[in-house]
Amino acid sequence: MMELINVNPILKHKGVGLLGKIKVFKSGLLTLIQDKGRKGYQQYGVPVSGVMDDFSYRIANVLVGNHEGEAVIESTLVGPGIEFLEEGVMAITGGNLSPEINGKPIPMWKSIFVKPGDRLNFKAIKTGCRSYIAFAGGIDVPKIMGSRATYTRGNIGGYEGRALKSGDMIHIGEADKPLRELVGNWIHQEIYSYSNTVEARVVPGPQEDAFTDEGIHTFYNSEYAVTNECDRMGYRLTGDKIQHQDGGDIISDGIAMGAIQIPGHGMPIIMMADRQTTGGYTKIANVIAVDLPKIAQAKPGDKIVFKKVSIEEAHSLLKEVEEKISNLKQQCISRKVIKTREFNLKINGKAYAVSVDEIKS
């Protein structure tokens, strides 16, 4: 079946091409190159790092035709300013920081053509906290211990082991498909919604028996606020005190992403992507994998409530989300341009070259 889709700009390179470079002209608050993380090195004291919101990260790559594990830009609260030095295709997912190109709003969760001289900027937060910017071809920086993820505390990975700053020039890799086939991929993101109150489903932690019955009841029946002490390492929360049986210290053991530590003061700390490899505080619960993106999009002042689920439920929920991601990926892959018509238009005295693609899905 053929259908007429969006009018798209004509691309100079008809086949697979090198996007080339992008230039950062504004750093944003915390702008990092990230991927799935540096796995397999925690035994040596090297944190995993990687993206905070795995779902948004993966979908951003899918939209631009990349493998899911390609590096992207993760921006937090205040987005960066990026100038494109070559034509290419990009997509933005995650929290809505009001992205604009050349001063005009652009849609989220959609692959968009960019041309040399175009400038991407972000105006203000609407929802969430973190945006993910993917480029067709991925970001070409060296892999350190098998990953391009940035771990700023150790000056490892990404761009010189640090957050991006004005003047940085970043190389983009070669796209796997002709750029024309990547323009216009779009999903209706209905799996996650970003609100000021987050329900985080959790499974019991390895030291649940270190808490009193009253303490466990408090944990599951209270609302906790995200404090200003929240970053990629962990989120400190404030609310009703959670009681221990006998103190909050233990012999240090490993820490998973989403582990909820309760130190002696009784306030929860949710461990995130840049968490240390081991810790000596009791862990009352662990946020399940499918709800970690919701925590990643929480910001200071947002509220979090915890709901207990079984491991079986957590596995079932993860399977559902993975199936949805697989379906979204297939929708993008199956999109095939079978005919293109090119036109020259003149609007308000300006000349535009556009194309209309017929696709088969």
CATH number, position 266: 2.40.100.10
Residues 29 and 45 in one domain: yes
In-domain check, residue 316: no
pLDDT of residue 181: 83
In-domain check, residue 314: no
What span, in angstroms and rounded, lies between the C-alpha atoms of 228 and 214?
27
Residues 161 and 301 in one domain: no
pLDDT of residue 39: 94
Residues 167 and 61 in one domain: yes
Residue 228 contacts residue 258 (beta carbons within 8 Å): no
Residues 187 and 203 in one domain: no
For the whole prediction, is pTM greater than 0.85? yes
- What tokens were used for 220? 């599951």
Residues of the chain with pLDDT under 50: 1-19, 337-339, 361
Residues 187 and 202 in one domain: no
Nearest to 108 by CA among 79, 146, 150: 79
Q: Given CA atoms 157, 49, 139, 26 in this order, what sign does their dihedral have?
A: negative
- What tokens were used for 93? 């997912």
In-domain check, residue 243: yes
Residues 74 and 177 in one domain: yes
Residues 204 and 347 in one domain: no
CB atoms within 10 A of CB 55: 24
Q: Given CA atoms 37, 90, 125, 329 in this order, what sign does their dihedral have?
A: negative
Q: What letter would DSSP give residue 54?
A: H
What span, in angstroms and rounded, lies between the C-alpha atoms of 101 and 113?
11
Tell me the percentage of the chain whose pLDDT exceeds 70: 88
What span, in angstroms and rounded, lies between the C-alpha atoms of 241 and 246?
14
Residues 6 or more apart whose Cβ sits within 8 Å of residue 322: none
Lookup result for tokens 């009784």: 266
Number of domains in the chain: 2
- The residues that bridge with 94 in the sheet, in sequence order, are 131
What span, in angstroms and rounded, lies between the C-alpha atoms of 32 and 164?
6
Nearest to 65 by CA among 167, 168, 135: 135
Residues 221 and 284 in one domain: yes
Residues 92 and 143 in one domain: yes
What span, in angstroms and rounded, lies between the C-alpha atoms of 304 and 68?
29
In-domain check, residue 317: no
What span, in angstroms and rounded, lies between the C-alpha atoms of 328 and 62?
8
In-domain check, residue 104: yes
Half-sphere exposure for 303 (CA within 13 Å, toward CB): 8
Residues 88 and 212 in one domain: no
Residues 6 or more apart whose Cβ sits within 8 Å of residue 312: none
Tell me the Ramachandran region of residue 29: left when phi exceeds 0, alpha when psi lies from -120 to 50, beta otherwise.
alpha
- The residues that bridge with 23 in the sheet, in sequence order, are 83, 169
The domain containing residue 112 runs over which residues?
A: 2-191+322-360
In-domain check, residue 337: yes
What span, in angstroms and rounded, lies between the C-alpha atoms of 231 and 271?
10
pLDDT, tens digit, 9 for 90 and up, residues 78-93: 999 999 999 999 999 9
- What tokens were used for 179? 């750029």
CA distances from 59 to 49, 148, 295, 327 (A): 19, 18, 18, 11
- How many Å separate Cα 154 from the centre of its chain? 21
In-domain check, residue 315: no
Residues 183 and 207 in one domain: no
Residues 38 and 166 in one domain: yes
